[in-house]
Chains A and B, each alone.
Chain A
C-alpha cells in the first residue's frame, strides 16, 4: 500500500478533476457519480473477480451503508467530521459482511448466487417494515452541509465534494491494490482457481470466502456512504436488485481483472445513461447487448481486450468486422424502434443516412442468405 504506487492514479484523478471543474457543474456531478460507481465496482471486483463469488445481492451492503450514513449525518449535525463519514458506511458494510457473510459463504457457485439473490430481495422487501430506517417510499434525505468539514471546505459546492469523493475512492483503490499483494490476496485467487485443492494445503475455503466477503462488504459500505453524501438522498433503490445488477453489469463490461475495469464500466454506463439516452431509446438494449457479447466472446471485459490488443495488435479485418457488425446492429435496432414507436430516432446522422443504410442492410443480408444457400446446395451436390 505504498504511496508511490497510488501517485500516478492520484495525478490522473487530479487532472480529471480540474478538467471537470472547468467544464461546469453538470460535469462535476457526473464525475462524482462515476467515482462512486468505480468505488462500488472495485469492491465487487474483489468478491467476484478475485474470489469468484458471483453475488446478486452486493447492493445490500452498499444500500444499508448509504442509509446508515444518512442517519449518521442527521445525528452528527454540527460535529466537524465530514471527511470521516464514509467510515460509518464502512462500519455498516462490515456488519453486513459479518452477519450475512458467514452462513452465505459456506455455499459457492450457483447456490451462493441464489442465496445472495434471495437475501437482496428479502432486504429490499423489508423496507416497509422499518420506516424509521428506510424512510418509506420517499427514502431518507440529508443535508451534507449539516456536518462541517474537518478541513474547512465548503461542501455545498460541487468541486470540494468531488475532491472528498475522489480521495476516498483512491483510498479504496489503494486498499484493493495492497490486498492483492498479501497472502490473503493470493489465497482468494487460489480459491477461485481450485477451491478443492487449497483445502489440502491447509486453508479452509469457507474462511477465505468469508474474509473476502467481509472486505468487499466494507468497501461497498464506503461506496454507499459516498453515494449518500453525493446525492443527499437514499431510497430503497439503493438496496434493490436493480443496483446489484448494475454493479455486476458494469464491472463485467469494464473488466474483472484490472483495477481500471470498474472505472471503464462506470464511464461506459454514465455515457450511455446521460448522453446516448438523449439520442435513442435503445440505449439500454445496447448496454445489455454489449454485456452479453462480452460475456460470450471476451469475458475479460473492455480492459482485458485493451490489454490483449496491446500485446498483439488486432488485424484490420477483425476491427473492420466488429465495426461493420456494430453499425448493422445500430441500423437494425433504430429502424425497429422507429417502426414500433412511430417516431424517428434522434441518433445524430440518422436523418440523412438511416434509410439508405437500412436498404443496404436488407439488400446485403438478402444477398448473403442467397449466397449461403447456393453454397450449401453446391456442397450437397458435389461428389462424396
Chain B
C-alpha cells in the first residue's frame, strides 16, 4: 500500500523537460503572424499620422484638387466614391441576396446548383483588374457608357456580387430546417417562407457580409483606374454619366507627385479612407454581435 502511494507521488513529480519547453515555446511560434500583422498596421498608421495629421483639415474634405497643395482637397474623390460605391451597393446587395436565396432555396437540380456555387466562389477569386478590363470593354465601349460613374459602379457591383452572395448564402444556411418545415406545414408557400421566416433571421448576417463587400469596393483602385483613368476633376457629379474619380485614385495621384506637401496630403487622405473603412468594419462587427446575442435568446 505504502509502495503504491509512493509510486503515484513519484508519478506526479515526474517531469518531461522537452514537452514543457515545447509548451512554453509554442505560443511564440504560433503568434508570429499576429505580430507581423499588427506591427505592419501600427507602423503604417504611425507614418501616416506623423506625416499627414497636420494636413487633416476641413478644407481637405471640402475643396477640389488644386495644383497648389495648400489649396488642394479631395472633395471630388469623396463625392465620386460616394456616388460610385453607393450605386454599386444598390446594385450588388439586392442581386447578391436574391442569388443567394436562389442558390440555397430555389434551385432544385443538384448539379446545376453545385456548378453555380463553384463558379461564384471562383468569381470571388478573380483579380480586380480583370473586372476593370471587362467593365472597360463591355460597359465603357460596348454599351457606350463611357468613363462614367455608372460604368464604374457596375464594374464594382459585379466584383463584389460574389462576396455578397457567398455571405448571404451562408446566412441562409444557418436557418434551421425545422423552422422552414414548420411554416410549410401551415400552408405557407416557398416565397412566404423566404419572406417571413428566412429573411428576417438571415438579414443581419447578410448585411454584415454586404458591408464588408462594400468596404472592399471603397478601397479598390485597380478596376476604377482602368475605367476612369487618372483625372483632375474640379466639379461635383450631377448625373451617373459624369466622369469621376475615387479616393484611392486621389491618394495614388498625390503620392506620385514629387513635392513633400502632396505626400503629406496623400497621408491625410489615407487617414480619411482608413477612418471610413474602420467605421464600416466596426458597423459590421456590431451588427454581427447583436445578431449573435439574439440567437442565444
Asked if A pairs with B, the answer is no
Chain B residues in the interface with A (C-beta under 8 A) = none
